[in-house]
Amino acid sequence: MKLRGTLGGLNLLLEPGDTGPDVTEALAVRAELLATSVTIEVQGDADPEAVEAALQAIRAAGGTPGRVRAPRVTVTAPSAAPTESTSFGPAQARTEVVPHNLRAGFRGEYRGSVVVMGDVNPGVELVAGGDVIVMGALRGVVHAGYGGHEGAIVWGRPIASPQIRIGNAVARAPEGSSLSNMRRMEGHEGAELARLQDGVIVIDAQK
């Protein structure tokens, strides 16, 4: 694990072999540095425990995961399958990692954040108490920050959803919507980050 400062905040590199306890211990002594925008970069195979520990440490320090960078990789330790009866808790609850694409008809509910190491296809619905982070294209319907957690984010490469929700706010694709900041993503392949600003969902392109 490496943590370095950049012009836009901090960059946290998670390397193969990093474990959840290792990341927690390393970041505990640097908590004061995490109260800013932190880019999380995953190098090689991703350990779900390491990703979870990084997200929890950033939030506990008052920071936000500004960007997430990762190759299209598999996860070394699959998480437990979600259930439709999940009870939602704080956004700091356990992060679930889904190590594959999600196909039409799938509905997942998560108490904390969810990281999908693939595409979220049309017809998928994801509901999370924390962040929704998709390493591939996000084309399904998502609700991050379920329960009113307004600090949650949605990240995808790109965000091409017909509808996203963050906390109690909702944004829909341009057709029939008055939200001018929800742009049409046809032909766009870059990463994008959606977050709440003054109660409105704003989507920014990520470098």
**Mean pLDDT over each residue of the chain, to the nearest integer:** 77
The number of domains in the chain is 2
In whole angstroms, give the CA distance from residue 104 to residue 120. 8
Assess if residue 181 is contained within a domain. Answer: yes
198 and 123 inside one domain: yes
Q: What is the pLDDT of residues 182-204, one digit of tens each?
A: 444 444 457 788 889 888 998 88
Q: Please report the pLDDT score of residue 182 as a whole number.
A: 45
Assess if residue 75 is contained within a domain. Answer: no
Q: Please report the pLDDT score of residue 107 as a whole number.
A: 93
| CA neighbours closer than 13 Å in the CB half-sphere of residue 174 | 6
186 and 120 inside one domain: yes
**Residue numbers of the domain that contains 22:** 2-69
Question: Apex CA 58: angle with CA 84 and CA 198, to 5°?
Answer: 75
Q: What is the pLDDT of residues 115-154, one digit of tens each?
A: 888 899 999 999 999 889 888 889 999 999 998 888 888 9
Assess if residue 186 is contained within a domain. Answer: yes
104 and 199 inside one domain: yes
pLDDT above 50: residue 174? yes
In whole angstroms, give the CA distance from residue 164 to residue 142. 5
